[in-house]
A and B are shown apart, each in its own frame.
Chain A
Amino acid sequence: MSELIHSRPARRLLAGIGLIVTAIVFGLPLMTLLLASIAGEWTRALPTTLTVAHLRAALGGTPRAALWHSLATGIGATIGALVLGVWGALVSRRAPAPVRRGIDALFLMPVAIPSVSIGLALLVAFSRPPLLLNGTVALVGITHVVLVTAYAYASAQAGIARLPAAVEDMAGSLGATPSRVLVRVTLPLLLPQLRAAAALGFALSMGELGATIMVYPPGWATAPVEIFSLTDRGALFTGAAVSVWLLAGTFGALWLFDRRRSSRRAGSARDFSGT
């Protein structure tokens, strides 16, 4: 698509500018984070020695526990959110248009609310009877389900909108029970969207800080909370090392879930348009 710029040198110049700006704005921070995680002595502009000590330290003690907590929360919350989101999307599909708009608003609302407020609301609500969950791991899981469900719902809905309705009707008219149609026809057809939603939900859960920091029980910090407390007390390099493991885990899972799809559509769920 070069209809605008016909002169070759001009195009080269602009391409160079584009690449340099992208490298400085997006590439440099990431490279610096990676560098910090292996920096030994860093008293001048750049580290003078390199070490794996930080990366190793990040795999022991509390950082290691925090990484496990994040992994467990991420997996649990993704499964919970997928069940809830897909269930909601399947129900909203049969609802009349005005009702469906209401369901959309309900399911998508959490993405618009500041995560700290979601954390505060859950903390306030579950610190008193009848539901006393304050200080439990379950509250962290619930918090992440609330945050991730919207993305699962939006993805499932996008998938349902593209479903060939005739296939399900046919299965039904051939005598399959509704539950059988759901398990054998509908859900398999939704699989690409579900996989994308799982990848995105897992990544968001792994990186969640604002709501988690309000509700996590003592001794059960997730990796983002641990990174914050490390950097807050000045352990910047260990914090960077935990971040690198967190990113490795997140992108590893993304790759695992999402490798058969173009990442472009996977990302589009983050627009939470719900259409």
Chain B
Amino acid sequence: MELARRPWRPLVVSVPFVVLGIIFLYPFALLTVEAFARPDGGYGLGTFAAILAGHAFHGALFATLRIALTATAACLGLGSALALLIRFAAFPGARALGRLVDVYLAFPSFLVALSLTFLYGNSGVVHTLWTSALGGSAAAASRSFLYGFWGVVLAEVTYYTPFVMRPVLAALDVIDRSQLEVASSLGERPWGVLRRVVIPELVPALIAGGSLCLLLTMNEFGIILVMGVKDVITLPMMIYGKAIDEFDYPAASAVAICNVALSLGLYFTYRQALERVPR
């Protein structure tokens, strides 16, 4: 309000931005500088060109997109199916289950990877049952599917499906029930009501949940790290490898900048999708 009466006001207003500037913007500015730094002390596009031309980067980009898209598609399918079952089959405990989904969101993702190791890993419950059912020692020597592409996808689907279920459950809550009854009484079969009345109402929620899922699965790191998947290198894994194993900070920074650009692009798409979701 009146600047004269409260001369400290600009100071008070600027504090959060100064702090965030130092701990968030300044690091990313220096990350950019690092990516463009040349070994001789000058600046240039050398690191970027080398990274962007390399097979490692192309492979990582492809793996990231392939995992994220596959996991998101599976999350959308499983998440909307489970949400529909919870709401329409109306079984006892369905409400509690819906609430449990929320609690799940506070669970760290890498623990899913650890859990799945015990369940489907080489010495896990399912793999042991499977190999003992097959009997032979050849079968016992087989490697579980878990340590590859599908293992990562399974872990991500396990962890991220609730992120689709939540908006879909919320959207199902606001569907006008009389609409469903009218459609039914006009002779539409349940499947038809679902397809023609319910699903169209869910589209904004599916877009919002799906793009959130896509963003989070593209950024996912803990699951792949803890699972010990050696042949699936995503962009975050490549950044980690370059920085921690090879101490090559300029290369790591260049990959990080590409990764950040990709994620931010997706994020702003998500924000726009979200604005169309009825809340």
Q: Give the B-binding residues of A (Cβ under 8 A).
A: 1-5, 11-12, 14-19, 21-22, 25-26, 28-30, 32-33, 35-36, 42, 44-46, 84, 87-88, 91, 103, 106-107, 109-118, 120-126, 128, 131, 142, 145-146, 149, 178, 199-200, 203-204, 206-210, 213-214, 224, 227-228, 231-232, 236, 239-240, 243, 246-247, 250-251, 254, 262-264, 266-268, 270-271, 273, 275
Contacts and interface: CB of A to CB of B under 8 A. Distances in A.
Residue among B111, B166, B184, B274 with max Cβ neighbours from chain A (10 Å):
B111
A228 B221 contact: no
Interface stretch (B39-47, B48-56, B135-143, B261-269): B261-269
Given A126-B27, A231-B226, A251-B106, A114 B236 contact: yes
Contacts of B99: 262-264
B119 interface: yes
Contacts of B157: 25
Going nearest first, the 10 A-B pairs with the smallest beta carbon separation are A207-B108, A15-B91, A112-B267, A18-B85, A267-B102, A29-B115, A125-B27, A121-B27, A203-B106, A15-B89
Nearest to A7: B190
Chain A facing B: main interface SS = helix
B195 to A, nearest CB: 11
Given A207-B106, A228-B225, A228-B226, 14 more contacts: A1-B177, A21-B82, A26-B161, A28-B119, A44-B128, A112-B219, A116-B221, A117-B236, A120-B256, A124-B253, A207-B109, A224-B110, A231-B114, A273-B271
Main secondary structure of the interface of B (DSSP, over half): helix
Contacts of A250: 106
Q: Interface range on chain B: under 10, 10 to 19, 20 to 34, or 35 or more?
A: 35 or more
Contacts of B167: 271
B260 A3 contact: no
A32 B236 contact: no
Interface string B198-222: 1000000000100010010011011
A39 B222 CA distance: 24
Contact of A116 (B128, B132, B239): B239
Contacts of B243: 120, 123, 214
6 contacts: A21-B82, A106-B17, A106-B24, A116-B221, A199-B106, A231-B114
B240 A213 contact: yes
Contact of B119 (A14, A32, A251): A32
Nearest to B102: A267
B118 A36 contact: yes
B147 to A, nearest CB: 13
Nearest to A92: B16
Contacts of A231: 114, 117, 226, 228
A112 B264 contact: yes
B166 to A, nearest CB: 7
B256 A121 contact: yes
